[in-house]
Amino acid sequence: MASEGAKAACQGGAGGRGLEFLRMAWRIGRLSLAAGCVGVVITAYLKKSFAGGFAAGYLIGFVNVIWLVSIVDRGMRLSGEKAVRFVLGRYYARFAATAIIVVALALKEVFSVLPLIAGLASSFFITVLTMIFALRKEFFANA
């Protein structure tokens, strides 16, 4: 069960964004970008030609997560059926835009497919782990 602090952080002030939510979002973003930079350095060390693709995939994934969070945040401020239509429509648009970008980069052979997908997957994985780590104190305070 979520603690009162976690609920207040998520519900917060103007526009549904409390100060704690913003602090947490910045911390998660910084940690995720730092992990992405480490991933690019490791990829460059292992195989230089893969570093650009990994970096591009990671950046696409990072922007995708930010976009998703903004969709959910705006959807939470709407009510009922309006929120469902808003979130679903933008979720599928976000998914399609991401797919088009990744496929276009792969088909144009700007980057190799493997590091592009590895960067994209790493971005999602690291962002989720960072969120779990950052939220553990709030959500598991009463456990």
Residue-wise pLDDT for 60-86, tens only, equals 998 888 888 888 878 888 888 888 899
C-alpha pair distances (Å), 61 with each of 6, 31, 39, 90, 116:
26, 14, 13, 16, 10
Predicted local confidence at residue 142, as pLDDT: 60
CA angle, residues 22, 19, 84, in degrees to nearest 5: 60
Q: Where are the domains of the chain?
A: 4-139
Predicted local confidence at residue 22, as pLDDT: 65
CB of 10 closer than 8 Å to CB of 18: yes
DSSP state, 64?
H
- From CA 17, how far away is CA 34, in angstroms rounded? 24
- From CA 120, how far away is CA 62, in angstroms rounded? 8
User: Does the pLDDT of residue 143 top 80, yes or no?
Assistant: no
- From CA 76, how far away is CA 119, in angstroms rounded? 29
Q: What is the mean pLDDT of residues 117-131?
A: 87
Tell the burial category of 6 from Cβ atoms under 10 Å away from its Cβ (0-12, 13-18, 19+).
Answer: buried
Q: For 1-50, write each residue's pLDDT tens digit.
A: 344 444 444 444 444 445 666 677 777 788 888 888 898 899 889 988 89
